[in-house]
Amino acid sequence: ALITGSIDVRGVASPAAGGAYVVGSFQGTVTFNPSGVPQPMTSAGNDDAFFARYSSGLAFQFARRIVTGSPRNRARKLVISPVSGDAIIVGVTRSNLIGASDDAGRITISIGPNDSTYMAGFNPTTADVNWAKGVVSNGDNEPERTAISSDGSQISLFCGAVLAATF
């Protein structure tokens, strides 16, 4: 990414077909695909979460803002569902809308008054959100000590440092 703002990559995963999925957050303006047609994105707040996809030859395919509309939206972890193939993303937000602003299927989640942890499944071809769940909290949550695990039939989320949460 060509950067005129800042970017924080937090998760990379490789699907069975090859390539790479990348998640993180950015501030200011960043340009994905610097070697082709640039796709600049400018954050709407302090941080906007993004999901990017690259082919097996690491050619840029797309980058989309997946959470926006509040001062702090971060994608922190990424795993590929062995069942659905969804890109499962865990992050923190102060927004109750998960999904890109042009995604007609945006999902409203329950959140607390401060930072809340979310887990959402995104279509890896379009980056549209398929499902999402929020963790309601009265404190600040930052899922740095979060693990996502899969046994082939289900996805498990293990949170550390979640304050006063309701699932």
What was the pLDDT predicted at 81? Answer: 82
Give me the percent of the chain exceeding a pLDDT of 90. Answer: 5
What was the pLDDT predicted at 143? Answer: 58
Q: Does residue 49 contact residue 65 with C-beta atoms inside 8 Å?
A: yes
Q: Around Cβ 165, how many Cβ atoms within 10 Å?
A: 16
Whether 20 shows a pLDDT value over 80: the answer reads: yes
What was the pLDDT predicted at 21? Answer: 92
For the CA atoms of 49, 134, 21, 150, what is the dihedral angle to 10 degrees? 160
The first and second tokens of residue 63, run together, are 């980058």
Q: How long, in residues, is the chain?
A: 167
Residue type, 25: S
pLDDT per position as a tens digit, 63-112: 888 886 666 788 888 888 877 888 888 888 877 778 776 666 788 887 77
Question: Residues of 82-106 as b/e, b for ≥16 C-beta within 10 angstroms?
Answer: eeeebbbbbbbbbbbbbbbeebeeb
Which of the 8 DSSP states describes residue 71?
S
What was the pLDDT predicted at 167? Answer: 46
Q: Does residue 35 contact residue 1 with C-beta atoms inside 8 Å?
A: no
Confidence of residue 158 (pLDDT cuts 50, 70, 90): low
What was the pLDDT predicted at 166? Answer: 46
β-bridge pairing 73-80 and 29-32: unpaired
User: What average pLDDT does this structure show over 113-137?
Assistant: 82
Phi, psi (rounded to 5 degrees) for 143: -75, 50
The first and second tokens of residue 134, run together, are 């929020």
Give me the percent of the chain exceeding a pLDDT of 70. Answer: 73
Q: State whether residue 22 is helix, strand or coil.
A: strand
Task: Name which residue leads in pLDDT, 12 or 5.
Answer: 12
User: What average pLDDT does this structure show over 138-159?
Assistant: 57
Q: Which of 3-17, 31-45, 150-164 has the lowest mean pLDDT?
A: 150-164
Whether 161 shows a pLDDT value over 60: the answer reads: no
